[in-house]
Amino acid sequence: MRAAAIAFSLAALTAPVARADCPPADPCRLAEGRYALAAPSAWDGKTPLPLVVFFHGLGDTPAAVLSRTDMMRIVEERRILLAVPEGIDARWFVRPGSPRPRDDLAFAAAVAEDVMARHPVDPAMVVASGFSAGAFLTWTLACERPGRFTGFLPIAGGFWDPVPEGPCPGGPVAIRHVHGRADRTVPLAGRALSGGARQGDMRASLATALVTNHCAPVPEVAEMAGETCTTWRGCRGGALTFCTHPGGHDMDGRFIADGLAWLRTVPRPAK
């Protein structure tokens, strides 16, 4: 997302700006850290809205995310609250064995809790999403501590290696992953990084989700405009879809919009 965030189009300068309760210049502050929040400009402040907590990529900031035309478009058109937490040094710390100056999983839940305390939120649509490094956090959150969230929409990032063999301790979840088939930054097969870190193979991440969600072994495959989406049916308590597109390490607000539409089709667990 770093390149995309820097290379804003000139259209972003003239796009409608959503009313922001916690703009990047004056973010909401928690004991664990800070986050920015954007809301639809015509929102009455009373009608419950879906909440998306979006974790930025390595080197990005809440200001960069909320300056993107595509992200502000989904705020306006999909009528959502968009919370963008701030990583420490623009990073997230969820890799096994790495230093953890902050419990980023607890911070993610705290951000959702704070937004829900400030504003009316649809409790059935409290969604965690993230791009690249933020997607690694999203997968880890879905596996280890999904409780506050009702769905997960990671983009271009899975588990760090070693990938949990499953089932995840957090239990079944609804998760829709999007990834570029030509991604060289976070390849589908993963890759080794400096310092001994290694990105996990997305096939292993999917295998963990399948075991956790108790999904049917034979999926359904749909193709449209170069995008291929594989969906496993018959999951007990969760849902799983994996979509690939012909691009590289790309972020587009459309991926979140499509994910929100998908989440609305997922049956809610019986109470």
Closest by CA to 49, choosing from 68, 28, 15, 77, is 77
Q: Which domains does the chain have, with CATH numbers?
A: 2-263 (3.40.50.1820)
Query: Residue 18: what pLDDT?
Result: 41
Q: Are 227 and 245 in contact (CB under 8 A)?
A: yes
Highest mean pLDDT among 21-30, 51-60, 260-269: 51-60
Q: Is the dihedral of CA 156, 227, 258, 168 positive or negative?
A: negative
Residues 6+ apart with CB under 8 A from 97: none
Q: Are 89 and 104 in contact (CB under 8 A)?
A: no
Q: Are 222 and 228 in contact (CB under 8 A)?
A: yes
- Residue 104, classified by CB atoms within 10 Å of its CB into exposed (0-12), middle (13-18) or buried (19+), is buried
pLDDT at 125 over 90: yes
Query: Residue 195: what pLDDT?
Result: 79
Tens-digit pLDDT profile for residues 16-50:
444 457 899 999 999 999 999 999 999 999 999 99
Gyration radius of the chain's alpha carbons:
17
Token pair 């909440």 in the structure block, residue: 51
Query: Residue 173: what pLDDT?
Result: 95
Tens-digit pLDDT profile for residues 153-190:
999 999 999 999 879 999 999 999 999 999 999 999 99
- Whole-model pTM: value is 0.90
Query: Residue 20: what pLDDT?
Result: 55
Token pair 């409608």 in the structure block, residue: 16
Q: Are 151 and 173 in contact (CB under 8 A)?
A: yes
